[in-house]
Amino acid sequence: MSKGPNRHKPSPKRKFWHEAFRVARLRKEAGATGREVFTEPWIKLASCWPTCACGTGDPRIPRWPGGLPRDLRLSGLGVDFVAYVRAGDVDAAERVMAAIDQRETEVLIALGYIKPAR
């Protein structure tokens, strides 16, 4: 039985990452490379479980103390996300965020919080 809406929607708390991607693209167009693409505050946010792409996701995702997702695939995607942010690879960071959204949906379906799409 479903415990909530039929569909997983990415968390509105994650909106600031979309702004970070927009700004990073502008910085890249202006000549920034590597760790210069994302500002140091963005890199610090990406490096912390509660504020990274996984931590700003759905609060129903089971987590260990400190914010690390209990799902190994999801936590692995979080590690990938911070690596791409640190490297200044905006496209890869966005792709990983989309993969995080997809994995969150799978976890929420498995836990019975949402119904699978028909």
Asked if the structure places residue 81 within a domain, the reply is yes
Asked if the structure places residue 1 within a domain, the reply is no
Prediction pTM value: 0.86
Alpha-carbon gap, residue 25 to 32, rounded angstroms:
9
Mean pLDDT of 47-52: 92
Asked if the structure places residue 50 within a domain, the reply is yes
Asked if the structure places residue 6 within a domain, the reply is no
pLDDT, tens digit (0-9, with 9 covering 90-100), for 6-19: 555 666 667 889 99
Asked if the structure places residue 101 within a domain, the reply is yes
Asked if the structure places residue 115 within a domain, the reply is no
> Which of the four pLDDT bands, split at 50, 70 and 90, describes residue 113?
very high
Asked if the structure places residue 116 within a domain, the reply is no
Q: How many domains does the chain have?
A: 1
Mean pLDDT of 50-69: 91
Instruction: Specify the pLDDT at position 2.
Output: 41
50-85 as b/e: b if 16+ CB within 10 A? ebbbbbbbbeebebeeebbbebeebbebbebbbebb
Domain limits for position 69: 12-110
Alpha-carbon gap, residue 44 to 82, rounded angstroms:
9
Rounded to whole angstroms, the maximal C-alpha distance in the chain is: 52
Asked if the structure places residue 2 within a domain, the reply is no
Alpha-carbon gap, residue 87 to 69, rounded angstroms:
23
